[in-house]
């Protein structure tokens, strides 16, 4: 991606939450670049910090420390004015289409709300824009005056996508947008997002736990474990040359459509439990579950380093090959 233009840069970002037991380190010193027009996939177990990182990237959660840069400009999202302006550039598609739409609002009101808040268009033009967006996501303009409970899960997610597109953002966080949908509907939503990206020049951060879906839609993939990015590479490279022990275990857990290949697959079963994000280990967060961990892994945290061009790994046991 050397010739690509950086749209979003997360530089040494932390997001901590004060809880009764201490400080929960949801995102712990993460640095990432997201390039214009790409889809960056973000995968990992539940609770690893994926959704929190997505919310930091789009400004819902101001970072505890570190920098967020958009189009080369550092943002101070603790200022309400900056958050408001950035919200027009960055939007989110939520995981649960049943919980993310106000049941008391019509579809037209849901989609038009962002345009009203940002002072876009007059009332007539907003109505026309609502119809355009409904048709763009595969719904009919007759749906505009209905309420969310009148739609299926897949249709509701299309409404959520239309809402995200309404104020013409450049960057969209897709926070597990298909995990709550029937398998038969998931591919339709994925194909819709892919078509919209090509048509509108969008940039996606696609958060998911289904590795096959992430491989299909993503240009690059970042693997997270307990608040840290442990591996980052082009999609093809990551699947062909998986280097981090956690990434290998994660990929081995995914099903393969071919029954013969699935039967012959060497699945890696991890022992132990994920450490608490309130009391993280001294060394590598994965050391307690890693089958190849050494003393150094338990004593010091590995830095995310470039092993081969474009392929980054945070592991003491993986040496740079450049």
**Predicted confidence (pLDDT) per residue in 291-307, tens digit:** 999 999 999 999 999 99
Assess whether pLDDT exceeds 90 at residue 116.
yes
pLDDT of residue 321: 81
Token digits of residue 73: 């400009």
In CATH terms, 6-89+169-313 corresponds, of 3.40.50.300, 3.40.50.360, 3.40.50.2300, 3.40.640.10, to: 3.40.50.300
Distance of CA 122 to the CA centre of its chain: 33
pLDDT tens-digit profile of 233-286? 999 999 999 999 999 998 887 655 556 555 556 667 777 788 899 999 899 999
pLDDT tens-digit profile of 1-39? 557 899 999 999 999 999 988 999 999 999 999 999 999
Q: Residue written as tokens 């763009």?
A: 136
Assess whether pLDDT exceeds 90 at residue 176.
yes
Token digits of residue 229: 């990015």
pLDDT of residue 256: 59
Alpha-carbon torsion (286, 178, 168, 64), positive or negative = negative
pLDDT of residue 266: 66
pLDDT tens-digit profile of 93-110? 999 888 999 999 999 999
- The residues of the chain that CATH labels 3.40.50.300 are 6-89+169-313
**Could you tell me what percent of the chain has a pLDDT over 90?**
79
Closest CA to 286 of 233, 213, 231, 242: 231
CB neighbourhood size of 236 (10 A): 12
Mean pLDDT of the chain: 92
Element spanning 170, H or E: none
CB neighbourhood size of 197 (10 A): 17
**Could you tell me what percent of the chain has a pLDDT over 70?**
94
- 3-state helix, strand, coil split of the chain in percent (to 5) is 35, 25, 40
Closest CA to 44 of 189, 250, 197: 250
Query: How many CA atoms, within 13 angstroms, populate the side-chain half-sphere of residue 257?
Result: 3
d(CA 114, CA 167): 6
Between residues 222 and 253, the one the model is more confident about: 222
pLDDT of residue 265: 60
pLDDT of residue 322: 66
């Amino acid at each position: 991606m050397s010739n690509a233009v950086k749209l979003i840069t997360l530089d040494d970002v932390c997001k901590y939450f004060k809880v009764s037991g201490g400080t929960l380190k949801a995102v712990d010193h993460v640095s990432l670049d997201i390039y214009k027009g790409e889809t960056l996939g973000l995968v990992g177990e539940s609770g690893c910090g994926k959704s929190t990182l997505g919310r930091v990237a789009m400004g819902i959660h101001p970072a505890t420390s570190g920098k967020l840069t958009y189009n080369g400009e550092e943002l101070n999202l603790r200022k309400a004015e900056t958050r408001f302006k950035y919200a027009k550039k960055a939007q989110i598609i939520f995981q649960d289409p049943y919980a993310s739409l106000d049941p008391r609002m019509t579809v037209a009101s849901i989609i038009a709300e962002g345009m009203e808040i940002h002072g876009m268009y007059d009332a007539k033009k907003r109505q026309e824009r609502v119809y355009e967006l409904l048709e763009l996501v595969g719904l009919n303009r007759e749906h505009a005056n209905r309420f969310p409970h009148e739609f299926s899960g897949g249709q509701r997610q299309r409404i959520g996508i239309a809402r995200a597109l309404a104020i013409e953002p450049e960057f969209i966080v897709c926070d597990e947008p298909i995990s709550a949908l029937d398998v038969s509907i998931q591919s339709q939503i994925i194909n819709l997002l892919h078509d919209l990206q090509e048509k509108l020049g969008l940039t996606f951060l696609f958060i998911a736990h289904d590795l096959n879906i992430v491989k299909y839609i993503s240009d690059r993939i970042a693997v997270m474990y307990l608040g840290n990015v442990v591996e980052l590479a082009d999609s093809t490279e990551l699947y062909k040359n998986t280097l981090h022990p956690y990434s290998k275990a994660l990929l081995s857990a995914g099903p393969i459509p071919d029954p013969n290949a699935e039967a012959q697959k060497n699945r890696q079963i991890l022992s132990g439990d994920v450490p608490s994000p309130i009391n993280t280990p001294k060394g590598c967060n994965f050391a307690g579950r890693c089958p190849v961990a050494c003393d150094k892994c338990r004593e010091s945290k590995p830095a995310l380093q470039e092993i081969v061009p474009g392929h980054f790994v945070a592991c003491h046991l993986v040496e740079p090959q450049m």
